[in-house]
Structures are given as C-alpha cells and as structure tokens.
Amino acid sequence: HSLIKVCIFCHFADILQEYLPLCSPRLLEKGTDGYWYNGKWNLLRCRLNEYLPTLSTYKCLRHKTFFIVGDSTARQYYAFLIKLVQDINVQLPDAIREWEKIHKSINIQFHFHTFPRNTRTPLQMSDIKYTADLIDSIVGGPDVVIILSLWAHYSAVPSETFLSRVYGIRHAIERLHSRSPDTKVVWRTGNTRKHMTVAHVIENGNWVAYQNLLGARQILQGLDIFFMDVWDMSVCEDVYKLHPGPNVIKNHIDLILNYVCQEP
C-alpha cells in the first residue's frame, strides 16, 4: 500500500510540474524546497530547466566569467562546469568551435578560501586570500557570476569564526553591488556528511554545520543574491556524503544556471 501511495504521489507531482512556471531568479530566491524523483530534484514553486551540453547551454554560458570560491565542495562545481564546457565544445558547429578556441569567452576560476584549511598539502601563501578581499578585487557586471561554498572546514572551529567571515563577505557583496549591481552571487549552503569516529562527530558534526547554515541565512538576508539551500536536497537523498555524487552536483548546477541564465 505504501508503494502504491508513493507511485500515485509521484504521478500527480510529475503532472503538476508541467503547470508550474519556469524557474527564474525571482522565484528561486524564495527557497529551494522540493523532492527527488527519477534522479531529478523537482522544486515545488517552479519548473527547472535542465542544462545539457547543447548549443542553447553554450549561449547561456558564452562571455560569462565564473568565480567559484570555497572548499572542496566548491571545487566540485568547478570540475563539473569545466567538463560541461568541454562536452559543449564537441557539439558546437565548426565555425563557433573555432571562434571559441581563439576567444575563449567562457572563463571559470576556482579559489580556495583562506584559513581554516584542514589540509596536509603545502600552501603557497601568495595564493591565500580572504573571500571578502577576493570579492573586492572582482570587477563585476552582468556576465560575472560568483559562487560561494564555504562551510565544511568551519565545522571544526567556533561558530563565531565562521559568522564573522560571513559578515565580512556580506559587506564585500554590498560594495560589489554598489559598483556593479547586476553581478550575480550564489551562496551554496552546507550538506549532511557521514562520520566515521566520535572525534569526527565532535569536530565536524552536522549539527554545527546546520547552525552555521542558519547563521549565514540570517546574516545574508536582504541581499540580492541566490541563497541556494541544498541541505534538504542532501537529507531527502538520504546519502550522507561530504562530496555529493555527480548526479546531485548536476542538479545543483541546474539550479545555479536557472538563476544565472534567465531574466526575472
């Protein structure tokens, strides 16, 4: 009986999606509540466009510069977008492909946030920049997108450290929007993660990560940004991974591109 109920719900939910308005920045800003069905995240407020390696996706990405800032969960976005652009290039008509080789109109950069950094690899101090300072150095504009994903390393330090950084980032975004109000900014929240030991629970607990999520939401409210809350996506998937799988990352990117590529 439970299986029948689930099937009936999914059937009507699938029909409902056809009647929802297409997602746009204004609709997405209200929240990202939804459900998983057939490997796709469906929003309850609007219908998501899916961005595949096609000419239409290229038209969306053309001339855009992405600054992806944060931890290894941000690097997943960088890797996905690089691969997406490579796959798109294969599909492009010859003339456009040759033009793109020369002009390289799609610019994707990744910057790791400054301390705390839980890593054993050597660090070049010249590469260490506070996120707020990096935002201050960016020349914004309608084709500039900043994606921020800072959370995983902050679970092992007092919340005051994380929240003070978020305040600094908020002020930097305000300065950015005062000089370039059409620059798009995405704040990606944390997700659930699996813990192997008691020490790991204490140092990197989901409870701390969620409290930081709530604190960031409160600090960043009122800004003209996309606060992309992926916590529920993680909980609903019921797979507790620090680094979500490729299908989840694809759905995250679809959310971002629905914000970036369409007018409100």
Kindly list the structural domains of the chain, giving each domain's residue range(s) and its CATH number in brackets, ordered by start: 51-260 (3.40.50.1110)
pTM score of the predicted model: 0.91
Greater confidence (16 vs 36) lies with: 36
pLDDT tens for residues 205-215? 898 999 999 99
pLDDT at residue 11, as a whole number: 54
What are the residues facing 98 on neighbouring strands? none
DSSP codes joined into one string, 237-255 = HT---SS--HHHHHHHHHH
The DSSP code for 50 is: P
Q: Rounded distance, CA 185 to CA 208, Å?
A: 24
Q: Would you call 186 helix, strand, or coil by DSSP?
A: strand
What is the tens place of the pLDDT at every residue in 205-254?
898 999 999 999 999 999 999 999 999 899 888 778 889 999 999 999 99
